[in-house]
Structure formats: structure tokens, C-alpha cells
């Protein structure tokens, strides 16, 4: 049986009206934490319900009617897009099938950076110069990365239940710095009773294009509460000042 999203779409519309936002054009992506501490949230259906609450955002903001999706442990996993046609059972098929692991943000953030903003890698043959260079040198290859920035801004909704591993903090900060120069707003969504979100809070305080919200109990949170949090003043400011439609 297909999932009925009508009521959730109405709730999202109300949240947009509260912020006096008539139109948003953004590519929408979600990221799911597949660390071992998330097992209960997956097995009891909480994360499938969470995904169903995200889909109306993709339908409203993104003209392709889908959400690009990743999951992460210490590695990044692109699951393919979420659509109305494959939404039912998506979490069990595509995310729970990934083995649980540790918590590292940087690999998936790098993949997302490449997916949206890197169009190609151009390899150039660099020939040695000068007498001795020509005599003894070898032709080398130089890789130039071409970035694509003239795209619709991206709304990345990044879910986790706790801070990342210590060894991942430096690499995450570096990729966040890179992304902060690009048309992307990263909304971290902390779930569960764990209050250890110190690193994410620092990212949100330090970068205008990074936000953080904490939802202790997703099962008890209403659609209204979740959409009001996701349609934040900072997101509106990002759109109206940096990327007006």
C-alpha cells in the first residue's frame, strides 16, 4: 500500500507560511546515520517514519520530485534517490542492509561535495622543460578538478544520534570549510537522548550555512514541530540573502 503523505504536505505548507516563504527551489538530500547505536531506531520503524516526513520537502523544493540519499558509518554509501514509488520500505531495503559501524561524517560529506559540485577531472600531460628536464625527465600527469557552482542550492538534512569519532573531527571541519563556500545549507538533525552534540553545535555556531536541531524523541515529535524546526530563520536567510530565487 502506498504511503499517504497528504497531511504531511499540508503541515509543511503551514510551516512555510509561518516564515512567509512562498517558493523555495533547492535540491534536497538526506543523510542517515548507520552507526551501531542507531539499531533500535531502525528496527522499531522510527527511521522509516522519519524518511516519510522528509519526502514532502523534496516534493516541494526540488523540481525532480525526489530526494538524493546517503548513509554513513566510517564509510559513505549512496543508496540512490528516494521517490514516491520506492518510499515504502526504503529504509529496510536500502539502509538497514548496510552493516552498522562507527560514526564518521567526513567521507559522506566529501561524496556529497563531489556529487553536486564537481563536474569532472581533467588530466593533463605535463612535459618536462629545460635541457636536463627533456633529457632525464618523464612526462607527468596533472589532475585539474573542475567545479560546478552554478546549480540550484542544496538543502542537506544530515541525521545523526551523536558526535563523530575524534579522529574524524579535523577532516569534517576541513570539508565543512570547503562546502561553506558553495551553495549548500547543511542542517544537522540530532535525534535521541544523547546530549553529546558538542562538535556539531560548534559547527553550527561557526558557519552560517550549518544548522543544528535536536529532536530527542522522533516518535513523539509532531509533523508541525519537525517542519517548524527544519524551516528555520537561518535557512530563510541563506535563501534570501545568498541564493534568492
pLDDT tens per residue, range 175-220: 999 999 999 999 999 998 866 799 999 999 999 999 999 999 999 9
Q: Higher-confidence residue: 162 or 245?
A: 162
Residue 142 pLDDT > 70, yes or no? no
Whether the CB-CB separation of 145 and 19 falls below 8 Å is answered with no
Instruction: Specify burial of residue 37 (Cβ count, 10 A radius: 0-12, 13-18, 19+).
Output: middle
Residue 67 bridge partners (DSSP):
82
pLDDT grade, residue 129 (50/70/90)?
low
Q: What are phi and psi of 214, to 5 degrees?
A: -120, 125
pLDDT grade, residue 145 (50/70/90)?
low
Q: Which three cell numbers stand for residue 225?
A: 514541530
Neighbours of 235 (CB within 10 A): 19
Give the integer Cα–Cα distance in Å for 57 and 65: 9
Give tens-digit pLDDT for 83-113. Answer: 999 999 999 999 999 999 999 999 999 999 9
Return the H-helix or E-strand segment holding 157. strand 154-160
Give the integer Cα–Cα distance in Å for 152 and 166: 33
Whether the CB-CB separation of 51 and 90 falls below 8 Å is answered with yes
Give tens-digit pLDDT for 62-72. Answer: 988 899 999 99
Give the integer Cα–Cα distance in Å for 230 and 189: 9
Q: Higher-confidence residue: 245 or 154?
A: 154
Residue 1 pLDDT > 60, yes or no? no
Residues in contact with 232: Cβ distance below 8 Å, sequence separation at least 6, in sequence order? 187, 211, 213
Residue 138 pLDDT > 70, yes or no? no
Give tens-digit pLDDT for 23-50. Answer: 889 999 999 999 999 999 999 999 999 9
pLDDT grade, residue 9 (50/70/90)?
very high
Q: What's the chain's length in residues?
A: 245
The SS3 assignment for 237 reads helix
Residue 114 pLDDT > 60, yes or no? yes
Judging by DSSP bridges, how do beta strands 68-72 and 76-78 pair with one another?
A: antiparallel
Amino acid at each position: 500500500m502506498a504511503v499517504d503523505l497528504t497531511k504531511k504536505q499540508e503541515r509543511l505548507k503551514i510551516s512555510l507560511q509561518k516564515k512567509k516563504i512562498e517558493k523555495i527551489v533547492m535540491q534536497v538530500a538526506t543523510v542517515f546515520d548507520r552507526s551501531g547505536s542507531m539499531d533500535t531506531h531502525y528496527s522499531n520503524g522510527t527511521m522509516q517514519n522519519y524518511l516519510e516526513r522528509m519526502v514532502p520537502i523534496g516534493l516541494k523544493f526540488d523540481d525532480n520530485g525526489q530526494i538524493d540519499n546517503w548513509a554513513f558509518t566510517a564509510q559513505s554509501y549512496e543508496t540512490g534517490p528516494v521517490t514516491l514509488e520506492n518510499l515504502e520500505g526504503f529504509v529496510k531495503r536500502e539502509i538497514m542492509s548496510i552493516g552498522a559501524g562507527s560514526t564518521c561524517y567526513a567521507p559522506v560529506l566529501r561524496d556529497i561535495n563531489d556529487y553536486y559540485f564537481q563536474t569532472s577531472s581533467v588530466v593533463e600531460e605535463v612535459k618536462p622543460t629545460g635541457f636536463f628536464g627533456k633529457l632525464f625527465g618523464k612526462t607527468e600527469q596533472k589532475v585539474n578538478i573542475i567545479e560546478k557552482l552554478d546549480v540550484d542550492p542544496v538543502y542537506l538534512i544530515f541525521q545523526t544520534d551523536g558526535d563523530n569519532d575524534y579522529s574524524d573531527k579535523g577532516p569534517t571541519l576541513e570539508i565543512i570549510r570547503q562546502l561553506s563556500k558553495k551553495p549548500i545549507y547543511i542542517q544537522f538533525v540530532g535525534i535521541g537522548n544523547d546530549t553529546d552534540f558538542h562538535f556539531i553545535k560548534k559547527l553550527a555556531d561557526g558557519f552560517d550555512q550549518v544548522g543544528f536541531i535536536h529532536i530527542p524523541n522522533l516518535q513523539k515529535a509532531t509533523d508541525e514541530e519537525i517542519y517548524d524546526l527544519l524551516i528555520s530563520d537561518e535557512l530563510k536567510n541563506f535563501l534570501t540573502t545568498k541564493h534568492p530565487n
